[in-house]
Amino acid sequence: YTFKGTSEQDLPFNKGDVLTIIVVTKDPNWYKAKNTAGREGTIPANYVQKREGVKSGGKLSLMPWFHGKITRDQAERLLNPPETGLFLVRESTNFPGDYTLCVSCEGKVEHYRIIYAKGKLTIDEEGYFENLMQLVEHYSKDADGLCTRLIKPKVEEGTVAAQDEFSRSGWSLNRKDLKLDQVIGKGEFGDVMVGDYRGTKVAVKCIKNDATAQAFIAEASVMTQLRHDNLVQLLGVIVEENGSLYIVTEFMAKGCLVDYLRSRGRTVIDGDALLHFALNVCEAMAYLEANNFVHRDLAARNVLVSDDSIAKVSDFGLTKEASSTQDAAKLPVKWTSPEALREKRFSTKSDVWSYGILLWELYSFGRVPYPKIPLKEVVPRVENGYKMGCPDGCPDVVYNLMTECWNLDPGVRPSFHKLKERIISAHERTLQSIIK
């Protein structure tokens, strides 16, 4: 609920604001909290709801009515008993790359081919749509030439509507409260923009493609379960009926670590700052390790730097609970451990390998790993014992850590907890030498 506050000690807030509880007061009915602008005060416990981590994982779907590769007969069985307006979408069996909208109407099922033309989707070559969600939304409001308007989705068994789950767990934000400003990055999935959410500067991934949006929903669901000062924090998710997806995170003013290193260089970033970044990333990874998450894509490009020069790990697109497997075809070869590439064996120890590569990137100020070695030769040469040399100016203690991370036997590599202890020790020795 909205809380206006009754005294100077109170922290006023509006319904939908995101607050962080600092401490439970002596009175269990009141919390001390702070808002995203950093203002602190007391709030009534019964006016707020705790956010839950979204745990539906791969079963979370933006399109629960999409059934993938099923046949015409299977679709008709799923839409039985007949109910006018009951519908599903499947991949076309006769026209690969196209889709079929299957609709129950007056006791029989009609199948409408959805054609992919001019980069858009259409049924009648009159109305064109950016994606399936937009198409379904349109025909849900108006039959527009179909036998009936789409009334009730036939949800694929075991799936959960992403919109409902994000809303239920408290991660759904209101689009009206988000003002988008300028594009700060472009990717295959869409744009990254800087924006304003209720007075707080935010970064926003804007995703418009069905398949990509589905992948990013999985990333956002992982982010709801993670909270650490060195992980980029998710603020919330906006799913629009037309299929647009917005993932809203804290804004990191100094951009990605690899660009930061390349643009500043040795004249700006000293050894103490490099150790500081190394420790920030290690802290985040030790947290993931303790919570049984494997990142699978750790690299300097996936670490962001805040305005006050704190490094935070981001891009959780490949992050999974430690027990699951991954398609190795999409993995960055130069950052991925040999056992993960060869046998799809992922673990915290495969992340440790990547961390060793990231340390090399740090101390070489953003150079690409394995310079001058063709990509196809990297894995065989590494498996034959090849290790990259020590970057100029890199302390021996840090290079030793790198080489331990690159042990071909995952069991011998140090844990992030152990790495953290040793980096802290190196950090303290550096600070003491500066003081002297």
Q: Say whether domain 256-435 belongs to CATH 1.10.3720.10.
A: no
Among the options 297, 307, 315, 327, which is catalytic? 297
Question: What is the pTM assigned to this prediction?
Answer: 0.81
Could you tell me which CATH number the domain at 171-250 has?
Answer: 3.30.200.20
Please answer whether residues 203 and 184 qualify as being in contact, where contact means their C-beta atoms are separated by less than 8 angstroms. yes
Q: Is 351 a catalytic residue?
A: no
DSSP string, 182-213: EEEEEETTEEEEEEEETTEEEEEEEE--HHHH
CATH topology of domain 65-153: SHC Adaptor Protein (3.30.505)
- pLDDT at position 212: 74
Class of domain 1-46: mainly beta
Inform me whether the pLDDT recorded for 55 exceeds 90.
Answer: no
| 208 marked ligand binding residue | no
Please answer whether residues 174 and 16 qualify as being in contact, where contact means their C-beta atoms are separated by less than 8 angstroms. yes
Residues 6 or more apart in contact with residue 297 via CB below 8 angstroms: 315, 317, 318, 319, 331, 332, 335, 354
What is the spatial distance between Cα 362 and Cα 284, in angstroms, rounded to a whole number?
Answer: 16
What is the spatial distance between Cα 339 and Cα 409, in angstroms, rounded to a whole number?
Answer: 9
Query: What phi and psi, each to the nearest 5 degrees, are found at residue 47?
Result: -95, -5
Inform me whether the pLDDT recorded for 436 exceeds 50.
Answer: no
Domain pair 65-153 / 171-250, same fold? no
Inform me whether the pLDDT recorded for 243 exceeds 80.
Answer: no
Q: Please count the helices (runs of H) and the strands (runs of E) in the chain.
A: 11, 19
Domain ranges of the chain: 1-46, 65-153, 171-250, 256-435
Inform me whether the pLDDT recorded for 323 exceeds 50.
Answer: no
- pLDDT at position 154: 94
What is the spatial distance between Cα 136 and Cα 100, in angstroms, rounded to a whole number?
Answer: 12
* pLDDT tens-digit series, residues 65-84: 999 999 999 999 999 998 99
CA atoms within 13 A on the CB side of 156: 20
Place of tokens 């858009």: 120
Inform me whether the pLDDT recorded for 324 exceeds 50.
Answer: no
